[in-house]
Chains A and B, each alone.
Chain A
Amino acid sequence: MTASTTTDEVIVTENLTKVYPGDILAVDGLDLSVHRGEIFGLLGPNGAGKSTTAGMLTTRVLPTSGRAIVGGVDVVAHPAQAKRLIGVVPQSNTLDRALTVYENLYFHGRFFGMSSKQSKTESLRLLDQFRLSERAKAPVLALSGGMAQRLMVARAVMHRPSILFLDEPTAGLDPQSRIALWEILSELHGEGQTILLTTHYMEEADQLCHRLAIIDHGRMLALDTPERLKASVGADTIVTISTDTEDREAFATRLRSSIPGATGASAIDSGVRLEVQGSHGVLPAVIAVADEAGVAISDLRLDEPSLETVFIKLTGKDLRE
């Protein structure tokens, strides 16, 4: 069971594949390795296969082929055992509506074998840690979205899982709750909690994750730290040039060859995106090239490479599409 895992690997997948009925290939031969204590992100657009991957790792989706080992346990062969080692925060609110806030934690502890006393102590401690003590006796329906999310995270970590899964944890949260959740995840990480999260928010992936797998159409396109992924773009500045000129391709090619330090240029919907190493003097140079080409520029923007840039480079499309 533990043949292919080292003590430092909390998740290992080998050629993990899921084909849904109707020949829909959701995850295509994924090889992952998540280390103890890291925050690992699966980044990709909606429908990329992130949730299916998380579903397979948490026993909710049966792989079509391949293997998934979580905490040393084969999740397909021993799902009940694997469930003791994982904590899951799903996309939708799955709190027990028939119970109060406190009882949601108390019974979770009992499901996982805590004694009544242990479960009570631990529930109260978590309510305090997640700033929910005042709502202990409230029905869960009375909680705001952010509070419900915090309670789900508290519930998921209550039995001290080897790994905490969060599926799009901040989708639908207001910005304040999102930041509060990021803080909580950082705190949990500080306590040594291994975390795997799926997200299609680049800021979230960039801010939280130590390593990221960029996924599209069920395939892993890149796997590295956010810094190295951004560095892989091979430019330190991204110039976005807005123009309504007809032939953006030609303009992109012209920019690529004329701008000093240009490492890449591509036509996008609103104009041209130019990648440059060394941004000094790039703006006047772009304007000069546009003048020569007779292209009218309506806007110019300089950015550092982001994960979005990486994603566009890898897939040729925008993450938000």
Chain B
Amino acid sequence: MTTIETPLLIPNRSARAAGVTAFRALLARDLHVLARNLREFIPRTLLQPLLLVFVFAYVFPKIGQGIGGSGAAASAFSTMLVAGVVGLAVLFQGIQSVALPLVTEFGVTREIEDRVLAPLPVDFVAIEKITSGALQSLFSAIIVFPIAYFVPATPVHLNFHWLILLTLTPLACLMCGALGLMFGTVFSPRTLPMLFGVVVLPITFLGCIYYPWAALAPIKWLQIAVLANPLVYVTEGFRAALTNAPTMSLWVIYPMLIGLTALFTFIGLRNFRKRVIA
């Protein structure tokens, strides 16, 4: 046994500096786990978009059952689908990388009890979850993009609007991380199947993945109803960033993404606090 003669191993610094260090270390831990689990992360991230693009933009045109017609119309559909697929990947990642682990850490392993003892304010433990989720969403967008671009049987014509792409992508990723935090603090292991069956399913089917929002005009009530779906602003935003197709106004997309990020963060933090501090 050695005796403690070295006074303090942890540097004697301000609470703020210690908090920043702890935040970074929590993030490093998450990325370390991500890197270790890449063999699971990649297939789980790629498979759904791959199947989606494969069936809708490869199989259907080939067998002449083209959604969106044939020739130029089919090509327009493939182009339109890119934004939807990337948006879907970002949303799924936000939920998978934040909500699922949180539900387990709260409900099964109680690991969260240790994580909140890290030397930073509890709110920042939750904000770290959002940040980590956003980074993983970004990563999944990057690896899904080539699939959406190369798999379709008909050519994809993208027009990059870089300013939109570079501002919208982080915003969409943050919103999905915040959504993951909110879901992670609302659902329990028992109710988790509801998250996918009842919440995520309608979000993805009615998230303007397969059609632009404007195309819903003939079904006015649906066009209005889907405005409650956060994914709509992500897919429409990516569509505005990647194509010249008509989309929802950016004056709606940006404020909505910012507003929803704030709302989900607010609810997520409030629930998180309630669950870790009695």
Binding site for B on A (CB under 8 A): 20, 52, 55, 58-62, 78-81, 83-84, 86, 88, 90, 92-99, 103, 107, 109-114, 118, 122, 125, 129, 155, 158-160, 187, 190-193
Option from B11, B111, B278 in Cβ contact (under 8 Å) with A97: B111
| Pairs A–B under 8 Å by Cβ, sample size 28 | A58-B117, A60-B117, A79-B122, A80-B120, A80-B121, A84-B15, A84-B119, A86-B117, A90-B110, A94-B109, A94-B110, A94-B112, A95-B111, A98-B37, A98-B101, A99-B33, A111-B29, A112-B10, A112-B18, A112-B119, A113-B18, A129-B1, A159-B9, A159-B10, A160-B10, A191-B3, A191-B4, A193-B4
In the complex with contacts A96-B111, A190-B1, A61-B278 CB distance below 8 A: yes
Contacts of B121 in A (CB 8 A): 79-80
Is the CB–CB distance between B9 and A80 below 8 Å? no
Contacts of A192 in B (CB 8 A): 3-4
Contacts of B29 in A (CB 8 A): 96, 99, 107, 110-111
Binding site for A on B (CB under 8 A): 1-4, 8-11, 13, 15, 18-19, 21-22, 25-26, 28-29, 32-33, 36-37, 101, 109-114, 116-122, 276-278
In the complex with contacts A113-B10, A129-B1, A160-B4, A97-B109 CB distance below 8 A: yes
Contacts of A93 in B (CB 8 A): 109-110
The 8 closest A-B pairs by CB, nearest first: A110-B25, A94-B114, A84-B119, A111-B118, A61-B278, A83-B119, A98-B33, A81-B15
Contacts of B113 in A (CB 8 A): 60, 90, 92, 94
CA A14 to CA B119, docked complex, whole Å? 24
Residue of B nearest to A81 (CB): B15
CA A86 to CA B33, docked complex, whole Å? 26
CB of A77 to closest CB in B, whole Å: 11
Residue of A nearest to B34 (CB): A98
Contacts of B9 in A (CB 8 A): 109, 114, 118, 122, 158-160
CA A20 to CA B28, docked complex, whole Å? 36
Contacts of A78 in B (CB 8 A): 15
Which of A62, A88, A98, A191 has its CB near the most chain B CB atoms (within 10 A)?
A98
CA A98 to CA B101, docked complex, whole Å? 10
CA A282 to CA B228, docked complex, whole Å? 83
Residue of A nearest to B124 (CB): A80
Contacts of A84 in B (CB 8 A): 10, 15, 18, 119
Contacts of A81 in B (CB 8 A): 15, 18, 119
Is the CB–CB distance between A111 and B110 below 8 Å? no
Contacts of B120 in A (CB 8 A): 80, 83
CB of A25 to closest CB in B, whole Å: 14
Contacts A90-B114, A96-B111, A99-B33 known; 13 new A-B pairs at CB < 8 A = A60-B117, A60-B277, A83-B119, A94-B112, A96-B29, A107-B28, A113-B13, A113-B21, A114-B10, A160-B4, A190-B3, A191-B1, A191-B3
Contacts of A109 in B (CB 8 A): 9
CA A230 to CA B156, docked complex, whole Å? 84
CA A84 to CA B14, docked complex, whole Å? 11
Is the CB–CB distance between B117 and A83 below 8 Å? yes
Contacts of B2 in A (CB 8 A): 125, 129, 191
Is the CB–CB distance between A110 and B28 below 8 Å? yes
CB of A221 to closest CB in B, whole Å: 24
Residue of A nearest to B109 (CB): A97
CA A60 to CA B112, docked complex, whole Å? 11
Residue of A nearest to B6 (CB): A160
Is the CB–CB distance between B18 and A80 below 8 Å? yes
CB of A55 to closest CB in B, whole Å: 6
Contacts of B118 in A (CB 8 A): 83, 111-112
In the complex with contacts A79-B121, A84-B18, A60-B276 CB distance below 8 A: yes
Is the CB–CB distance between A80 and B278 below 8 Å? no
Is the CB–CB distance between A60 and B33 below 8 Å? no
CB of A162 to closest CB in B, whole Å: 10
CB of B108 to closest CB in A, whole Å: 9
Residue of A nearest to B101 (CB): A98
Is the CB–CB distance between A55 and B117 below 8 Å? no
